[in-house]
Amino acid sequence: MKYELFMPVHKGLRFALTNLLNQANQLNFENNERLAAFSKNFLTLSAVLHSHAEHEDEHVEPAVIKYAPEVARKMDQEHKATNALLIELENLVKEINESPTKKRRELGVEFVYAYNKFLAAYLNHLQTEEVDVMDVLWHKLSTEELEEITVAIRSAIPPEILMDYFRYMIPGQNIFERVEMLTGMKKFAPEELYKEACDLAESVLPDEDWNELKKELDAA
C-alpha cells in the first residue's frame, strides 16, 4: 500500500468540518450559551486549520516546489484563498458575538452561507493535495522520506494543539489508522502524551470502537 501523507489528518478535518456545518445549520444564534459553545468549537477548528496549512507550507511544499512547481503554485494559491475565507469567518463570528441579540439571526444566516462557500473551497483543496500533490510525492519520495515528513510535522505541533488534531482524527479514522497512529505514539512519544491520547480516544469513541482499539493497543 502507498504511504498516505495527507489522508489520516484530512479524514479528521472532514469529520470536524462537516460536524461544524451541522452545528451552524441547527444553531439558535440568539441563545447566548449555545452561541458561546459554537464559537469555541469554531475557533478551535480554525486554529487547527491554520496550523495544518502552516506545517504543510514548511514541510511539504518545498518538496513539491522542487519536483512540480506548477502543482506547488496551485497548492499555494488554494492555501491563500481558503485562509482568506477562514479569516472572514473568524471576523464574522466575532461580529455575531458582539452584536445585539436581535441582529444575530440575520448574521447567523450570513455565517452559514459564508461557511458553505469556505467548506466547498476547502474540500476541493483537500482533494488537490490527496491527488495532485501525492501523485508527485509518490513518484519522487520514498516511503521513508514521507514518514520523515509526518514525524517532522507532528513534532512541530505543540501538545495542546496536537490533542485538538486527535480529537478530530481519532473518530474520523478507521480502526487500522487509529492503531497505526497510536502505536506509533506508544513507541516514540512521551508516556504521558500517549496516555492523554488514549484517554481522549476513549472519550470520543463509542464503547465498542474504544474496546476494539484498546485490545489492539494492549497487544502492540
Q: How far apart are CA 9 and CA 15, in angstroms?
A: 10
From first CA to last CA, the distance across the chain in angstroms is 21
Determine what percent of the chain is predicted with pLDDT higher than 70: 100
Does the pTM of the predicted model rise above 0.85? yes
Q: Which of 8-17, 68-77, 102-111, 186-195 has the lowest mean pLDDT?
A: 186-195
Q: Is pLDDT at 78 greater than 90 in this prediction?
A: yes
pLDDT category at 36 given cuts 50, 70, 90 is: very high
Domains, the chain, with CATH or none:
7-157 (1.20.120.520), 174-220 (no CATH)
Could you give the residue ranges of the DSSP H alpha helices within the chain?
Answer: 7-26, 32-59, 61-67, 69-98, 101-128, 134-140, 143-156, 159-172, 175-188, 191-204, 207-219
pLDDT category at 76 given cuts 50, 70, 90 is: very high
All three cell numbers of 161: 494543539
- Give the mean pLDDT of 6-14: 97
Query: In one letter, which amino acid is 138?
Result: W
pLDDT score for 1: 86
Query: In one letter, which amino acid is 80?
Result: K
Q: How far apart are CA 74 and CA 99, in angstroms?
A: 38
Among 41, 29, 209, which residue's Cα sits nearest to residue 111? Answer: 29
Q: Is pLDDT at 159 greater than 90 in this prediction?
A: no
